[in-house]
Amino acid sequence: MEHKVISRENLGKWLDTITREYDLIAPTLDDDVVLFKEVKSAARVLLDYNNTVLPAKDHFFPQTETVFRFKASAGQLAIEPEPPLARPRVLFGVRPCDLKSITLLDHVFDGDFQDGQYLDKRARTVLVGLGCNSPQPTCFCGSFGIEPGSSPAADLFFTEMEGGYLVNIQSEKGKEALQKGWSFFADPDAGQVKEASERAANAKKALKLSVDPKGVKEELDHFFESPYWDEISPKCLTCGICTYICPTCHCFDINDTSGQAGERFRCWDSCMFTDFTRMAGGHNPRPTKKERVRQRFLHKLRYFPDRYKEYACVGCGRCLQKCPVHMDITQIISDVKGGKLQNAAK
């Protein structure tokens, strides 16, 4: 793997250079909320932050997205597909948990039924990771094999050091973006490589929350009807915030605007909403909170692994932070491992 180093001052210069040929998306502070947004200047880029409120997935699978536009005239229907990205993009400052989540979404949108809009954004985006030196108390990425100080999913990966960053060049796409400001980078010495490695190791040690998901899917295969779901579901408010801030949730609804001209668009939906599975005739196979809560956790821990051999959780901790009633996926995993579903079933 090829390494480079860059100072903090030169990082801003490189990012400003990038904007000449790429759209730059980076963490920014907007009304005291940290979000990934398109920026025109490196001055808007936030480097010292824990994690964004919303994950990076919004820039591949937007909350609301036009699929195509239509116009009816003289008995004819004209359909105009939504155009691809006008320019390539650099998505800078993505934490390892969110980087992993994008590879999980690839299973869904780049599978047997390929999603052209997602894949266009994916192909034309350079993913630049940023190591997480100070995991929060709610972070448990290590439980799913994710290290806060590294990620193979990034095209470029930055590790903060004293006075600057060590950069791992991990793809040709990343190297091409780096070369737009090649003069801002230098070769590292052995001490800098060692410092970055130590910081990554210390970040891994700093993870306080952990849970063991091994064998959880196999346990859940047998306890679909366990009374455990009746026990934990009443406190859920079905607000859906867990699904909206989750980096791996990908349910959506499709709607058309009315009239002779308009658009078809898709927008995020949530399995926690009452009418998510309501059918045209009025029947709802998930009529109560029990079924909806069960669905959320079975999707993460059983159905996704059945399809893709990976859990649909990256341990980012957002749901632990934002759930108003503290519905805790780590506790549920521990309950499963501890036999609570089996005991409840008795």
Q: Which pTM does this prediction carry? A: 0.94
182 and 133 in one domain? yes
For residue 345, what pLDDT is reported?
A: 65
In the predicted model, residues of the chain with pLDDT beneath 70 are: 345-346
What's the angle, vertex CA 250, arms to CA 59 and CA 152, rounded to 5?
60
Nearest alpha carbon to residue 216 among 337, 130, 127, 305: 337
DSSP 48-73: S-S--SS-GGGGTS-SEEEEEEEEEE
Tell me the percentage of the chain whose pLDDT exceeds 90: 92
Both 192 and 295 in a single domain? no
Supply the pLDDT for residue 74.
84
Q: Which residues constitute the domain of residue 27? A: 2-205
Q: Domain for residue 161, yes or no? A: yes
Indicate if 128 and 262 belong to the same structural domain: no
* Domain membership flag for residue 43: yes
Reading phi first (left if > 0) and then psi (alpha if -120 to 50, else beta), residue 204 is in alpha
> Does any domain span residue 211?
no
Q: Which two tokens stand for residue 88?
A: 């390539």
* Close Cβ partners of 133 (under 8 Å, ≥ 6 residues apart): 148, 149, 160, 199, 202, 203, 206
Domain identity same for 180 and 227: no
Instruction: Count up the domains in the chain and report the number.
Output: 2
Q: 195 and 224: one domain?
A: no
Give the 3-state secondary structure of residue 118: helix
pLDDT digits (tens, 9 = 90+) for 298-346: 999 999 999 999 999 999 999 999 999 999 999 999 999 999 888 776 5
pLDDT reported for residue 259 = 86
Instruction: Write down which residue in 173, 205, 237 finishes a domain.
Output: 205
Residue 33 lies in a domain: yes
Q: Quick one: pLDDT at residue 1?
A: 77
**Same-domain status, 96 and 241:** no
pLDDT at 258: 84
Q: Considering 175, 205, 235, which residue would you say is the last residue of a domain?
A: 205
- Which residues, listed in sequence order, are joined to residue 39 by a DSSP beta bridge? 24
Q: What is the pLDDT of residue 346?
A: 57
CA distance 146 to 253: 31
Cα separation, 270 vs 284, in Å, equals: 15
